[in-house]
Structure 1
Amino acid sequence: MLLVVCALSVVVVAQETHCGGTPDRLCDVKPEAVYYKEPPITDSEVSYKQLKTMFPSSSIQLFDVRNPDEFEAGHIPGSTNVPLGELQEALRLSSDQFKQRFGVRAPHKEDSSIVVYCQRGRRSATALDIMWALGFSRARHYAGGYSDWVQREEQGGV
């Protein structure tokens, strides 16, 4: 028998086996597939909706860790390009040096409004690891990345 379980945004498809032919007692449930309607959000991640609500605040620091050519081809409005390969060095710059190089104020380790993103979430996850290792423990990343942003904006922000 096929069993489909929905919990929050997770859908699990499983085969169930009954013990001794008793239909009310399951002895084994083996998941065949797990589908997410939307990726689960952790404390280290920011969803599209969360990111949109952060924009009215001028304190958000949104960093695009993609390569400059990707950034120039399109980026989330208000973001600053700090390529992943330069991130560690950039975060070690003085406030004045950072401002001169990137045109925005340098992030501070205690800031809670630092968000990094890339195209799909892999590079931003790496960027987050770098930031945490350098003491930016409240930084988060937009795991959906620019591709998710574009798709949702084309759908009217849903």
Structure 2
Amino acid sequence: MAGAPTVSLPELRSLLAAGQARLIDVRSREEAAAGTIPGALNIPVSELESALQMEPAAFQALYAAEKPKLQEENLIFFCQMGKRGLQATQLARGLGYAGYGAGPAGG
């Protein structure tokens, strides 16, 4: 995933074990419904830009989760193969977020 910071699987496991990572599954709702990483928030990449620009209350109402903060260090975007995760990471970074991309959802 050239051009965006990434996190390795061992690093991700450590962050998750320590409760220091926030996962965003940027696959479609149908893909995420078939299975995702436990605790991940699903925001399809097609909705991500508008979601990250929402007011916190609107984000909470739509996604039933707290809106990520700009300074959140371990905001990790992932998808099936890595392409949408990279796109999401670049988009979020362009909006001022300090997110990371991860590889495929399965490993």
Structure 2 CA distance for aligned equivalents of residues 139 and 47 of structure 1? 14
Structure 1 CA distance for aligned equivalents of residues 48 and 56 of structure 2? 14
TM-score (norm 1): 0.63
Gaps of 5+ in 2: none
**Residue 106 of structure 2 is aligned with which of 142, 147, 154?**
147
Q: Which runs of 4+ in 1 moved over 6 A?
A: none
Gaps of 5+ in 1: 1-38, 149-158
Structure 1 CA distance for aligned equivalents of residues 21 and 61 of structure 2? 19
Which is helix-richer, 1 or 2?
2
Aligned equivalent of 2:86: 125
Structure 2 CA distance for aligned equivalents of residues 61 and 128 of structure 1? 13
Structure 2 counterpart SS, 1:62: strand
Structure 1 residues 59, 103: CA separation in 2 closer, same or farther (over 3 Å shift)? farther
Which is strand-richer, 1 or 2?
1
Q: Among the aligned pairs, what percent are the same residue?
A: 27
Computed over aligned residues only, the root mean square deviation of the Cα atoms, in angstroms, reads 1.9
Structure 2 counterpart SS, 1:55: helix
Structure 1 CA distance for aligned equivalents of residues 96 and 3 of structure 2? 19
1:51 corresponds to 2:19: no
More relative contact order, 1 or 2 (CA 8 Å, 6+ apart): 2
Count how many residue pairs are aligned between Structure 1 and Structure 2.
107
Contact 2:12 2:21 in 1 (8 A): no
